[in-house]
Chain A
Amino acid sequence: MTPSPKPTPSFPWLVIPPAAVLIVLFGVPLLLVLAVSFASRGTYGGIEWALTVTNYTSIADPLYLRIFWRSLWLAVVTTVICLAMGFPLAYVIARAPRRWQGVLLFLVIIPFWTNFLVRTYAWMFILRTEGLLNQALLALGLIHEPLSLLFTDWAVLIGLVYGYLPFMVLPLYAALERLDRSLVEAAWDLYAKPAQVFTRVVLPLSRPGVIAGCVLVFIPSLGAYVTPDLLGGARTMMVGNLIQHQYLVVRDWPFGSSLSFVLMAGVLAAVLYYLRAGGARSLT
C-alpha cells in the first residue's frame, strides 16, 4: 500500500471568530429586517406585529418605481463610464515600468485616505453655481453664465464615477498585469490592427477583471446614499435615499425594510445574471 500524502494542515477553529461576527452582526440583523418588512407601521412610527405584504405591494407605486429606475440607470451609466475610463488607466499602469507601477497604484488609492463624506463636500464646492468649475469656465470665456450643475443627475453621476473608479481600476490592473505582453505582439505580428488586438486578445483575456470591476462598481452605485444626498439634493433621489427617508423621516420602518429587501434581491439578480452571462463566455 502506498502511503497516503501527508494532509495539509488545516485550522478549522480559525473560522469561528469571523463566522461569529458575521452571524451576530450581519445574519441576525438581516433576519430582523426581513421580519420587520412584514410588520405594520404603528401610529407614532413604532412597529406593530400585524403581518402583511402591503409593504411590498405598495412599492409598485409609479413614484417608487421611478426612483428604482433612476437608481438602476445611474448605476449602469456609472459602471459603463468607470469601465471606459478605468480600462485605459489600468492598461497604462500595467504596462508602465515595474518600479512606476507601485507609485501609480498608490496614486489611485490615495483618495481613500480622506473620508468619503469630506470628498463629496469638496465636489459640492467644485460644482455649485459660484464653484471652482464655473469660475474656471467663466474665466476661460467658454461660458458666459454659470451652469447649474449641483443638484442634478449629472452631479450625482460625476460623484459616483469619482467615488467608484478605483474599484474598477484595481481588478482591471490585476488582470492586465498578468496579460503576457508577447500575446499582444503575436496578434500584431499576425496582421491585427491595434483595435483588433484590443477586441480579439486584450479584452477577452482581461474578462475576469472586467467582470470583477463592473460588479464592484455597480453594487455600491445602485445603493449609493451619500453621493445622491449631497450632490443630487431633494430632486434626484436614489433608492438609498428613499430607504433612509422611510427609516428616519417618515419613520415607516416596515416599508424601509421591504425597500431594502427588494434592492438586495435586485442587486443579487443583476449580479448573478451578469456573472452567468459573462462567466460562461470567459470559459470558451
Chain B
Amino acid sequence: MDGNGNSVELREVTKRHGATVAVDRLSLTIRKGEFFSILGPSGSGKTTTLRLLAGFEQPDSGGIIIEGRHMEGVPPNRRPVNLVFQNYALFPHMTVAGNVAFGLEMQGLPQAEIGPRVTEALAMVRLAAKQDRLPAQLSGGEQQRVALARALVNHPAVLLLDEPLGALDKQLRLEMEVELKALQERVGITFVCVTHDQEEALTMSDRLAVLHQGRLLQVGTPEDIYTAPASAFVANFIGVSNGLSGRVEGIVGQHATVLVEGIGVIHAPAVPGVDAGAPVLVTVRPERLHLSRDQAPEGYQNHFAVRVAKVIYAGNETQYLLTLPNNQTWKARIPNADGAATRFHAGESAYLKWRTAEAVLLPE
C-alpha cells in the first residue's frame, strides 16, 4: 500500500541525542506532490527529522519509508531525496554550473545529458547568465536559487528544504515564498520544508505539522491549524492570539460558558473532551475582535469594557493594545476602512466585542 499516493512515511520514529529525545515516536504521512512543512521552535526536533529523511542520521527506533522503499541502512547518496541546506552549502571551488552538474556527474550520467539538464535547471531559477560565476560572486538570493537548482536537477522524489528562506531579508523572503510555491507546483515534486516561521509555513504549505519537544502536536492544512489549533501551544506558536484562562461553567449542546476571574462569563463553542469544571484557555485572534464606543451588544455574545493602552497605525489597519478588566493585555487589529472617525486614542475607554463562534476553546 506504500506506493499509493504516499511519498514519505514516518512510523513511530524516535531519535535520541545523548540524554535528550530529539524526535519522540513521530508518525507522519506526506503525500505525493505535496508542499509539506514541519513547523516548530528551535529544539523541537524538526531539523533532526529532516536529517533522518536525508539519511545523515539513523532513527533509534521506528521506520522511514520513502516512495515505498524502507530507508533503514540506506546512506544519503542512495536515497531518492535531495536537501537544500540552510546555509546553501554550495561548493565554493566550483562554478554555478559545476555545482548544479555535481549530482548528475556523481550518478554517472553521460556528459551529453548533463549539459542540457544543467542549462534547463539554471533557466528554471533564472540564473542561466551566471553559470560561470563562483558562488561567492552571487547574492544571497541567487545562491539560494543555485542550491534549489542543484537539488532539483536530479529530479528527486522528495526535495527537503532546511529553513530555506531564513537567511534572506524580509522583502526577498516574501518574493521567494511565492516563487518557491510556484516552483513546487510546476515541478510536481514533494517538498518537505522545515521552518520556525509560522507565516512562511502558512503561506507556502498544502499541509503542515507542528512539532514541539520532539512530539507531533497537530497536522493539517494551514486553515485547519490557524482556525482550529489543537492546543494552547499551537495557538500561541501559530500567531499572536489573545487568551483568557478560566473554568468551564456549563455546556449546552455546542455551546460552552466559561467563567473567567475578573471578567465574568465568556461564551465559546464547545469542544469534545472538555467537560464542565475543566480548566480551559479561551483564545480569540486579534483580527476577529470588534471595538466600539457603543455599550449595546449589537449581536456580539461577548462584550465588556476595556481601556485603550496603545495605538499603532499600520496602513490598512490599526493595531490596539487593550487593557482588560482583569489587567491582562490583549491585541486587536481593526481595519481602517471606516475612516478616522471610528479610530480610538490611547487612554480612551471602549467596548470589546466578539461572537461566540470566533473563540476557540483549548484544554489547559
Contacts and interface: CB of A to CB of B under 8 A. Distances in A.
Interface of A: 180, 182-183, 185-193, 196, 200-201, 204-205, 284
B69 to A, nearest CB: 16
Contacts of B82: 189-190
A176 to B, nearest CB: 15
A188 B93 contact: no
B325 interface: no
Interface of B: 54-56, 75-78, 81-83, 85-87, 89-93, 102-103, 106-107, 150-151, 154
A192 B106 CA distance: 5
B93 A284 contact: yes
Given A183-B89, A187-B102, A188-B76, 6 more contacts: A186-B91, A190-B102, A192-B102, A193-B77, A200-B102, A205-B92
Most buried by B among A182, A186, A189: A189
Main secondary structure of the interface of A (DSSP, over half): helix
Most buried by A among B54, B91, B151: B91
Contacts of B154: 190-191
6 contacts: A185-B54, A186-B91, A189-B76, A189-B83, A190-B77, A204-B93
A265 to B, nearest CB: 33
Contacts of B150: 190
B293 to A, nearest CB: 56
B215 to A, nearest CB: 26
Contacts of A192: 77, 102, 106
B353 to A, nearest CB: 52
A185 B92 contact: no
Contacts of A188: 56, 75-77
Contact of A187 (B75, B91, B107): B91
A191 B107 contact: yes
Contact of B106 (A180, A182, A183, A196): A196
Contacts of A182: 85-87, 89
Given A185-B56, A185-B76, A191 B106 contact: yes
Most buried by B among A187, A191, A193, A201: A191
B114 to A, nearest CB: 13
A189 B103 CA distance: 8
B93 A205 contact: yes
B130 to A, nearest CB: 17
Given A190-B82, A191-B103, A191-B154, A183 B91 contact: yes
A110 to B, nearest CB: 30
Contacts of B55: 189
B77 A189 contact: yes
Nearest to A282: B93
A187 B56 CA distance: 12
Nearest to A188: B76
Contacts of B91: 183, 186-187, 201
A183 B85 CA distance: 9
Contacts of B56: 185, 188-189
Nearest to B134: A284
A10 B76 CA distance: 52
Name the 9 nearest CB pairs between A and B, nearest first: A190-B103, A191-B106, A186-B89, A182-B89, A192-B106, A188-B76, A191-B77, A189-B76, A189-B83
Contacts of A193: 77, 106
Nearest to A186: B89
A180 B93 contact: no
Contacts of A200: 102
A38 B78 CA distance: 67
Contacts of A284: 93
Given A185-B56, A189-B82, A191-B77, A180 B107 contact: no
B83 A186 contact: yes
Given A186-B83, A191-B103, A196-B106, A180 B75 contact: no
A101 B243 CA distance: 49
Most buried by A among B82, B89, B151: B89
A181 to B, nearest CB: 9
Nearest to B78: A191
A187 B54 CA distance: 12
Contacts of A180: 87, 89
A197 to B, nearest CB: 8
Given A191-B77, A204-B93, A284-B93, A186 B106 contact: no
